[in-house]
């Protein structure tokens, strides 16, 4: 006779009350419940009402529940999807689901329902996409504003302390009537932080100004508003700071117990000249006919316990954020610049990867260990360029005789590793990165490109090798991993690229198989030719964004079957997760996270990484606009970088600037967009514009509110006939 099933009693006194208990109740009841019903069905007393209110609020914020008037319902049961809203310039948006397995959901302008760019929202799918198209949805509810304070630019004093203002985020298309306190010394054009109030109509909100940031021409003001725009935290909570202060300034001898003592090996760090946190050190030596490569990474996991205040804050931040004048680190400086930074001539705790490589640079085996090292030198990329790459006698003489041969060996090995990576098809885009020259008083003096050389590549090659080795190690040990995955490029965009190239060169037709290797061969083929600009831009646009996932989908850009992030736990929380898993793999203690938890962490980290990238792009765009503001009316040499139906974008290589020429400024003809040829063609004259074409332009105006540079074609522009361009 089967044993009689007994139902577990729910907590009568609330002693084990938590989110999972409340969520289980909703799943069992299979209907929406009010707060009072939750209290009653869990057999709780009135004193537990505040706790239930808090738990319900957290479940709504997590996207598990949806508030329906006075009740709450399961988001999944209501076929709703929670995620982050990302707006576009055209006024439509996309919800990036919290569940990274889901595709993005398109939201039309009429279906935004008061949601702003960056908000966490709940949306209903109203039409399923087919043939690779996005689902379409409508916003049901704003779960959490993307920013508590809204940066605004005040432009008119309305009297009685009221100001007319507009959000500095060009993706927020509304005005604000903002009230300022009497002691706030505001000037027209100032940037201030506003606490949003009620929506007055579709195009107007009310708000209260809480802090004046200053004039928009100040780089520090621009940094502050960008941080606010992207919800980048600028202060550590007191409990996290208190935990950091309780940590020692230096590791103790007891900490070295059970670790491999590598202090005698001449490890070095190689970073930029302004870097202050050093989380990786390297050492290379001969091993028979091959090489032995050590990569030692700061052991942040030794000091930051899972679930601690420091850990919770680091997870919330996701990564460190870098700006021209400031850094918002993932950990307080006591850790990031002190105890966990591999500063020279002091002992530091690390997790080390030891790789044995063949004479050709192939990794034959790898092992991991907890170690203690002592960095023998803090080197810069400039020193490596001068002493190792250019072999400048003075620069070589300045280095220790013990280190110089090792650094030469580093270059030798890195070139071999890079050759292997290139041979398997890893993509290398040599695109310049922007660099701003900012004065001490916060004003932009210049704008240009960062100069890169193989000195940067040495460290990158070693870090990629270590990341792959750790990912393979965790897989072989049967442990989960937070993989760094990069989906395959858009097939449609690659088809368009090869169609475009074949129109001007039949030998550049689509290959039978499109793989990272064939794409790298294409990059190499056009290197140094007029087609290099076109191919790099179109290939880059065909790439999808890398992300974190507990499911190994491979890394398309690196042509890697198994890859993770391990080498920057000071700056990336994903690396800290991998460190903890690696410690378990080599015999340490700790709870192995489940797939659902890793999936949630991966979604949060991918979202915060996007915020960091968007913030970096925005601050450099703002500084570029400030730099170009006084150059209105000047003539520049430019390259057409993108063709659209309403005009085309141009890049100014000398100034790392990008702007737009609208068809409305071309008064010599009516132009038609030839999509498959990436070309604008004049109906009467046959005059044409296409990607990669050199043009002379005049800066019409720099629009800091819309974050746009607007150009016109310079007079006397020589024309290109479309027949010649496709012949």
In tens, the pLDDT along 328-354 reads 999 999 999 999 999 999 999 999 999
Instruction: Write out pLDDT tens, residues 542-580.
Output: 899 999 999 999 999 999 999 999 999 999 999 999 999
- pLDDT tens figures, 680-712: 999 988 899 988 889 999 999 999 988 999 999
pLDDT-wise least confident of 307-316, 371-380, 425-434, 558-567: 425-434
The domain in which residue 66 lies consists of 19-74
Joined tokens for residue 451: 């100069």
pLDDT of residue 7: 43
The residue from 115, 144, 173 where one domain ends is: 144
Let me know whether 464 and 572 are in one domain: yes
Same domain flag for 194 and 274: no
Domain count of the chain? 6
CATH number for the domain harbouring residue 186: 2.40.50.140
**158 lies in the same domain as 121:** no
The answer to whether position 229 is within a domain reads no
Average pLDDT over residues 197-203: 87
Question: Which domain-ending residue is among 95, 114, 144?
Answer: 144
Render the burial of 555-591: b for 16+ CB within 10 Å, e for the rest: bbbbbbebbbbbbbbbbbbbbbbbbbbbbbbeeeeee
Q: How does residue 10 score in pLDDT terms, banded at 50, 70 and 90?
A: very low
What angle, rounded to 10 degrees, do the helices at 573-585 and 309-317 form? 130
Phi (first) and psi of residue 721, to 5 degrees: -85, 135
Mean per-residue pLDDT, 393-400: 94
Same domain, 180 and 121: no
pLDDT on residue 510: 83
Dump the DSSP string for 536-590: HHHHHHHPPPPEEESS---BTTTTBSS-B--S-TTTBHHHHHHHHHHHHHTT---
How far is the C-alpha of 3 from the C-alpha of 5, rounded, in Å? 6
- pLDDT at residue 8 is higher than 70: no
> Does 138 lie in the same domain as 258?
no
The answer to whether residues 394 and 466 belong to one domain is yes
Average pLDDT over residues 309-329: 95
pLDDT of residue 299: 97
pLDDT at 442: 80
Q: What is the pLDDT of residue 292?
A: 98
- The answer on pLDDT for 650 being more than 60 is yes
What residues contact residue 66 under an 8 Å CB cut-off, 6+ apart? Answer: 60, 72, 73, 74, 75, 78, 80, 122, 140, 141
Position 32 scores a pLDDT of 85
Average pLDDT over residues 217-238: 93
Looking at the structure, do residues 156 and 140 belong to the same domain, yes or no?
no
Contact 163, 152 (CB under 8 A): no
pLDDT tens-place string over residues 404-456: 999 999 999 999 999 999 998 898 877 778 888 888 788 888 887 888 899 99
The pLDDT value given to residue 726? 55
Please provide the DSSP assignment of 489-524 as one string.
Answer: PPHHHHHHHHHHHHHH-GGGPPPSS--HHHHHHHHH
Q: Report yes or no on 7 lying in a domain.
A: no
Q: How confident is the model at residue 9 (pLDDT cuts 50, 70, 90)?
A: very low
- Cα separation, 88 vs 710, in Å, equals 19
Q: pLDDT at residue 722 above 80?
A: no
Answer yes or no: do 722 and 582 share one domain: no
What pLDDT score does 4 carry? Answer: 42
44: CATH: 1.10.10
Question: Residue 374 pLDDT > 90, yes or no?
Answer: yes
Q: What is the pLDDT of residue 536?
A: 84
Residues 332, 373 within the same domain: yes
Q: What is the mean pLDDT of the chain?
A: 89
Residue 419 lies in a domain: yes
pLDDT exceeds 70 at position 720: no
Average of pLDDT values for 225-239?
Answer: 93
* 499 lies in the same domain as 636: no
pLDDT in tens, 472-520: 999 999 999 999 999 998 888 888 888 878 877 777 778 888 888 888 8
User: Do 442 and 500 lie in a common domain?
Assistant: no
Which CA distances in Å does 519 have to 433, 453, 691?
22, 22, 19
Specify the pLDDT at position 15. 52
Mean pLDDT confidence for 173-186:
92
Provide the CATH number for the domain around residue 118: 2.40.50.700
pLDDT of residue 12: 46
For residue 231, being part of any structural domain is answered with no
| Residue 5, domain member (yes or no) | no
User: 């030794």: which residue's tokens?
Assistant: 302
User: HSE-up of 35 (CA within 13 Å, CB side)?
Assistant: 16
Residue 12 counted as domain residue: no
Of the pLDDT bands very low, low, confident and very high (cuts 50, 70, 90), residue 2 is very low
Q: Do 567 and 609 belong together in one domain?
A: yes
Pick the last residue of a domain from 524, 543, 562. Answer: 543
Helix locations, 357-402, DSSP H: 381-384, 393-397
Lowest mean pLDDT among 83-92, 396-405, 496-505, 622-631: 496-505
CB 663 within 8 A of CB 647: yes
Mean pLDDT across 299-323: 96
Does any domain span residue 222?
Answer: no
Compute how many other C-beta atoms are within 10 angstroms of the C-beta atom of residue 655: 19
Instruction: Please answer whether residues 265 and 373 qualify as being in contact, where contact means their C-beta atoms are separated by less than 8 angstroms.
Output: yes
579 assigned to some structural domain? yes
């Amino acid at each position: 006779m089967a044993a009689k099933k007994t139902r577990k009693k729910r907590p009568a006194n609330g002693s084990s009350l938590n989110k999972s208990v409340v969520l289980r109740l909703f799943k069992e009841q299979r209907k929406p419940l009010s707060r009072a019903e939750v209290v009653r069905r869990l057999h709780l007393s009135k004193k537990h009402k505040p706790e239930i209110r808090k738990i319900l609020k957290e479940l709504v914020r997590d996207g598990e529940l949806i508030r329906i008037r006075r009740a709450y319902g399961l988001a999944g049961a209501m076929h709703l999807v929670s995620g982050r809203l990302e707006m576009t310039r055209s006024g439509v948006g996309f919800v990036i689901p919290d569940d990274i397995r889901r595709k993005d959901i398109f939201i039309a302008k009429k279906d935004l329902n008061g949601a702003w760019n960056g908000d966490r929202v709940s949306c209903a799918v109203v039409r399923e996409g087919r043939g690779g198209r996005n689902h379409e949805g409508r916003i049901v509810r704003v779960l959490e504003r993307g920013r508590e304070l809204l940066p605004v630019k005040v432009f008119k004093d309305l009297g009685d302390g009221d100001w007319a203002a507009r959000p500095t985020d060009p993706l927020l298309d509304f005005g604000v009537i903002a009230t300022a306190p009497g002691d706030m010394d505001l000037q027209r054009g100032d940037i201030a932080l506003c606490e949003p109030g009620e929506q007055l109509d579709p195009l107007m909100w009310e708000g209260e100004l809480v802090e004046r940031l200053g004039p928009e021409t100040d780089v520090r003001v621009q940094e502050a508003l960008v941080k606010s725009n992207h919800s980048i935290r600028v202060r550590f909570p007191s409990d996290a700071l208190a935990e950091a202060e309780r940590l020692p300034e230096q590791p103790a001898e007891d900490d070295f117990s059970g670790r491999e003592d590598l202090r005698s090996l001449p490890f070095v760090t190689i970073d930029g000249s302004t870097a202050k946190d050093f989380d990786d050190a390297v050492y290379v030596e001969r091993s028979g006919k091959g090489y032995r490569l050590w990569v030692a990474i700061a052991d942040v996991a030794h000091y930051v316990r899972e679930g601690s205040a420091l850990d919770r804050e680091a997870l919330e931040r996701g990564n460190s954020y870098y700006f021209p004048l400031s850094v918002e680190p993932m950990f307080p400086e006591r850790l990031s610049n002190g105890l966990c930074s591999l500063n020279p001539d002091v002992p530091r705790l690390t997790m080390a990867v030891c790789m044995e490589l063949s004479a050709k640079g192939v990794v034959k085996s790898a092992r991991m260990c907890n170690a203690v090292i002592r960095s023998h030198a803090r080197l810069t990329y400039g020193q490596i360029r001068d002493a190792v790459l250019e072999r400048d006698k003075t620069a070589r003489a300045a280095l220790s005789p013990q280190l110089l041969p090792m650094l030469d060996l580093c270059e030798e090995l890195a070139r071999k590793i890079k050759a292997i990576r290139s041979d398997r098809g890893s993509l290398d885009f040599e695109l310049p990165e922007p660099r701003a020259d900012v004065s001490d008083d916060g004003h932009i003096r210049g704008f240009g490109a960062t100069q890169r050389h193989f000195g940067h590549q040495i460290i990158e090659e070693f870090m990629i090798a270590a990341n792959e080795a750790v990912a393979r190690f965790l897989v072989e040990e049967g442990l989960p991993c937070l993989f760094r995955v990069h989906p395959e490029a858009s097939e449609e965009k690659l088809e368009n690229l090869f169609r475009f190239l074949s129109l001007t060169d039949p030998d550049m037709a689509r290959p039978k198989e499109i793989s990272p290797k064939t794409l790298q061969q294409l990059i190499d083929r056009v290197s140094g030719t007029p087609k290099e600009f076109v191919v790099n831009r179109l290939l880059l646009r065909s790439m999808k964004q890398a992300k974190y996932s507990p499911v190994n989908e491979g890394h398309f850009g690196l042509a890697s079957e198994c890859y993770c992030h391990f080498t920057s736990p000071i700056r990336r929380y994903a690396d800290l997760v991998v460190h903890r898993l690696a410690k378990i793999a080599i015999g340490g203690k700790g709870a192995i996270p489940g797939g659902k938890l890793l999936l949630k962490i991966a979604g949060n980290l991918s979202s915060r990484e996007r915020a960091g990238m968007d913030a970096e792009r925005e601050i450099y765009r703002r500084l570029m606009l400030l730099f170009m503001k006084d150059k209105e009316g000047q003539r520049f040499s430019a390259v057409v970088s993108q063709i659209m139906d309403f005009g085309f974008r141009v890049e100014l290589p000398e100034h790392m600037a990008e702007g737009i020429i609208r068809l409305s400024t071309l008064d010599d003809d009516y132009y038609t967009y030839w999509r498959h040829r990436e070309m604008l063609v004049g109906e009467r004259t046959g005059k044409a514009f296409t990607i990669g074409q050199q043009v002379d332009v005049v800066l019409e105006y720099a629009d800091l509110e819309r974050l746009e540079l607007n150009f016109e074609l310079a007079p006397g522009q020589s024309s290109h006939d479309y027949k010649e361009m496709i012949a």
